[in-house]
Structure 1
Amino acid sequence: MNKNQSHEQNLVIYHNSLIRVTLEPSEIPWLIIYIQRSVKEVSQCTDEEKNMLFCALDIIEKAMLQHYKPDKINIASFGNILPQVHYHIMARFHDDGFFPQPMWGIKQRESTIHFDNVDFFCSEVQRTLDDKLA
């Protein structure tokens, strides 16, 4: 995602009254979970929001591990630019363009990996979130 693009423009793959999950445009599988309310810190979330957030994070991480078989899952939450509670969940691979640097770091190489089944993955995540978080 370019630095001027809004996170609001990302494809929403799941939402309910407490959280929203979006697909980050990237060369790697990368989803973001947001709390729907405007809160800056996890400690400001209700217990229900925290439970929903971490349940969704667990579901997404497991789905990425099963579907993509990455070398590592990265989970990040900074909030310096977007001061709202949100978590980035990224499937990382030794041959992705930024590895071992963070995705916000300096690109290390041109990536040779390609994921053509992102739509299927997103629909599976959406189905699982619908089933487990209902």
Structure 2
Amino acid sequence: MFTLDSRLQQDTLWLGDYPLCRLLLMNDAQYPWFILVPRREDVSELFQLDIAEQAQLWQETTALAEVLKDCFAADKMNVATLGNVVSQLHMHVIVRRRDDVAWPAPVWGRHPAQAYTSEQLVAIKARLRTVLTGEFCFNES
């Protein structure tokens, strides 16, 4: 059974699910920072997914990055899977703009997180509803 790592659960907001991945929003309003987590048990490395799941992860990641780039007027999309702190396989998809507080450095640990307000969260979800279509299923809770 799929269980989300406690650190991801603590630091993110659940937006919904693609066929393979859970889509999370890092609870830091300084950056549109999304995380895709394959809903598979005990997977910490890309090669632990079968070939079809690897392709599905890449398809979901690139589709998400493409819509986020347009939706949030990104100057650059940062896409990475690291897992040095959280070993559960997860893909970061981060919208970067030249005017963000950490540009051009990585966002990790640069500035203390600023949690989304309820109004900001409603706005970001509404914005995503206009661009995430197809097989994406929003978390309604």
> Kindly tell me: are residues 96 and 18 of structure 1, through their superposed partners in 2, closer, same or farther at Cα, counting changes over 3 Å?
same
Map 1:101-116 to 2 at 5 A.
101-107=105-111, 116=120
Matched, 1:30 2:30: no
Sequence identity percentage: 26
TM-score where L is the length of structure 2: 0.73
The equivalent position to 1:20 in structure 2, one of 19, 22, 43, is 22
1:11 matched to 2:17: no
Tell whether 2:56 aligns with 1:55.
Answer: no
- How far apart, CA to CA, are the structure 2 residues paired with 1:82 and 1:102? 17
The 3-state SS of whatever aligns with 1:70 is coil
Is the CA contact 1:35–1:85 (under 8 Å) kept in the aligned structure 2? Answer: yes
Q: 1:105 to 1:76 in 2, by over 3 A?
A: same
Q: Mind listing any 5+ residue stretches in structure 1 that lack a counterpart?
A: 108-115
SS of aligned partner of 1:6: helix
| Contact in 2 for aligned 1:13/1:123 (Cα 8 Å) | no
Q: Is the 8 A contact 2:76 2:96 kept in 1?
A: yes
Relative contact order (alpha carbons < 8 A, sep ≥ 6): 1 or 2 greater?
A: 2
Change (3 A) 1:81 1:125: farther
Instruction: Please name the residue that 2:115 is paired with.
Output: none
Counterparts of 1:16 and 1:106, CA distance in 2? 30
CA–CA distance in structure 2, aligned partners of residues 71 and 14 of structure 1: 26
Contact conserved, 1:19 with 1:33, CA < 8 A, in 2?
yes
Q: Is the partner of 1:11 in helix, strand or coil?
A: strand
Pairs aligned (count): 119
Task: Tell me the CA shift for residue 127 of structure 1.
Answer: 2.8
TM-score, normalised to structure 1's length? Answer: 0.77
Could you tell me how far apart the structure 1 residues matched to 2:101 and 2:135 are? 29
Q: Residue 17 of structure 2 contacts residue 23 of structure 2 at CA under 8 Å; is this kept in 1? A: yes
Query: CA separation in 2, counterparts of 1:7 and 1:104?
Result: 14
Corresponding residue for 2:136? Answer: 130
User: Which 5+ residue runs of structure 2 have no aligned equivalent?
Assistant: 1-5, 112-119
Shift of 1:126: 4.2
